[in-house]
Amino acid sequence: MAAGLIAGLVVFVLASFVGVEVINKVPPTLHTPLMSGSNAISGIAVIGALLVAGPRDSNLSVILGLIAIVLATINVVGGFLVTDRMLQMFKKKEVKA
Amino acid sequence: MSNFGSTGIELSYLIASSLFIIGLKRLGSPATARQGNTIAAVGMLIAIVATLLDRNVLNYEMILLAIAAGSVIGAIAAQRVAMTEMPQMVGLLNGLGGAASALVAVAEFWRLLDSGATVPLEATITTILGVLIGGITLTGSLVAFAKLQGIMPGAPITFGFQQPFNFSLLLIFLAGSGYLLVEPHNLPVFLGLVGISLVLGVLFVIPIGGADTPVVISLLNSYSGVAASVAGFILGNNMLIIAGALVGASGIILTQIMCKAMNRSLTNVLFSAFGSGAAAKAAEGSEGDKAIHSIDPEEGAMMLGYARSVVIVPGYGMAVAQAQHSVRELADQLERLGVSVKYAIHPVAGRMPGHMNVLLAEANVPYPQLCDMEDINPDLDRTDVALVIGANDVVNPAARDNASSPIYGMPILEVDKALHTIVIKRGMSTGFAGVDNDLFYKDKTMMMFGGAKEVVDKLVSEVKQL
């Protein structure tokens, strides 16, 4: 179990470095879309919710999982759509310019 | 067979993680941003479908129902929200993500307790972390949402012994955590920890003033990523850890960019209750006999119409009044008269990083007309008229000249260097930092009082007659 924790920590730290490298030097224009886009990605919690809500039971843990699915899906769907709506406007204007 | 299934899922997770990284990378450049968002969304879809194939996921009817419900609510919200309300929207979505992670932590802990097995130490640690970060993200985001939406006052809320109180709450949390590590089956203590996390989120955001909300939203965005990562630790799921870490890192970087733009440290933003005490004192002292010059839209239109160059400085006031389309029309009319028009965007104008860019894009303002602060400042002393629409602190010369001002050192748009400055504002109230603005009292500054949209609309009709 402790080995699993360490492996997870390795993945976490390396992924953080990737995140820093990828995001660096973003023009201010894109800060809002970037924020709402990465916010949508944080809805990845939906996967955890799916796993927790997986068993065919109706105990508290499954119910909490189902609520978490609803909340995380709102986060994911709302986040990606709203980002797309914003970026669509940027695009339209670029075609013009 | 089941072995093959789990390998397939792991490989799908690898593909999804790669798509997230590519998507984020593309989100960083205007030409590829939309594509990047789509790529990230595809990654999310792959991750979700792969998880549904997990052989432990059996509860299909209920799960699909929950996904459908969330999708419908999310889609409707995304369609309905006005561009000016984007900061609230991101804040709220953030809170939901945090809530989901916290719920996953609680549910998994509950399952472990229910199974009657001994709870491993690391499971308890990760659960406590998940509850803490997820809970703070949830209530913190809700408070930020309420402040932005105007349900709660935007000014910092402080009370006596606030820091000691928060600190002791944190100590109680740590003590409770320690107890739970030894005795994981104690439900009241666990629920107490959940409660304290939620309270901490509220206490963390209420002392932060409206002008600092962009920083807070960005920081909470980072938290929601970390919360997802912790949920990944709890479930031993790399997909969650990777995606969460990516979001956590990007949120921290955006937060740093914001702080730099205000020349303040993150600690200062979080703990100084900026704009409450010191600012109120400064305002008292400076009232006195200062005179302001106010002009009506007719005169304003003349000044603008016969200028050679105009720089428009939008701020939160433009967003509140939904005046971006009127502003665009004014710029069009001025250009018709041969005036060169540019927009000067301060990095923290509005209530969220890049807020003004989004609004002006919505009004179809051409991309090259938007100038960042560093690019436009050298041009301002050659500008005939700087038109400030609902911006305040970001054009306050005190940030440059007055070492005793609470905002001293914050980079500003130097509109006071322009030949003339016109300020459209609802009244003489201070900005979100609560600091009086010397710009309004200068000889070459003309004030036009009124809501941004009405005033700009009047300007448009006056300019049309020139």
pLDDT at A1: 53
Task: Judge: A55–B56 Cβ closer than 8 Å, yes or no.
Answer: yes
Instruction: Give the pTM.
Output: 0.79
The reply to whether residue A77 touches residue B250, judged by beta carbons under 8 angstroms, is no
Nearest beta carbon to residue A87 from set B37, B229, B247:
B37
Q: Is the dihedral of CA B29, B329, B381, B350 positive or negative?
A: negative
Task: Inspect the interface and report whether the beta carbons of A60 and B217 lie closer than 8 Å.
Answer: no
DSSP count for chain B of H helices, then E strands? 18, 7
Q: B100 and A49: CB-CB below 8 Å?
A: yes
Which two tokens mark B59?
């509860």
Q: Which pLDDT does position B105 carry in this prediction?
A: 93
Q: Which residue of A has its CA nearest to B351?
A: A32
Q: Give residue-wise pLDDT tens across range B214-250.
A: 788 889 999 999 999 999 999 989 999 999 999 999 8
Nearest CB to B224 within list A42, A46, A57: A42
pLDDT in tens, A36-95: 999 999 999 999 999 999 888 778 899 999 999 999 999 999 999 999 998 887 755 444
Chain B neighbors of A73, CB-CB under 8 A: 66-67, 69-71, 74
The mean pLDDT of B51-65, rounded to a whole number, is 89
Q: Do B347 and A28 touch (CB under 8 A)?
A: yes
Task: Work out the average pLDDT over B37-50.
Answer: 95
Task: Write down the pLDDT at residue B274.
Answer: 55
Q: Kindly report the average pLDDT of chain B as a whole number.
A: 86
pLDDT, one tens digit per residue, over B415-445 is 888 888 999 888 777 666 667 788 888 888 8
Give the residue among B390, B38, B67, B115 at the shortest CA–CA distance from A37.
Answer: B38
* Stretch B136-153: mean pLDDT: 89
Per-residue model confidence as pLDDT tens digits over B275-297: 444 444 344 444 445 677 888 88
Nearest to B364 by CA among A85, A96, A28: A96
Which two tokens mark B293? 């010059």
Decide if A62 and B107 are in contact by the 8 Å CB cutoff: yes
C-alpha dist (Å) from residue B235 to A1, A9, A40, B178: 11, 13, 21, 22
Q: Which positions of B are catalytic?
A: 393
Cβ-Cβ contacts under 8 Å, B23 against chain A = 37, 41
Q: Please, what sign has the CA dihedral across residues B29, B32, B33, B38?
A: negative
pLDDT tens digits for B59-104?
888 999 999 999 999 999 999 988 888 888 999 999 999 999 999 9
| Nearest CA-CA distance, residue B152 and chain A, Å | 23
CA atoms within 13 A on the CB side of B431: 27
Given a cut of 90, is residue B213 above it in pLDDT?
no
Its ipTM equals: 0.92
In chain A, what residues touch B357 (CB-CB under 8 Å)? 28-32
Give how far A65 is from chain B: nearest CA, Å. Answer: 6
Please name the member of A5, A15, A35 whose beta carbon is closest to the beta carbon of B122: A5
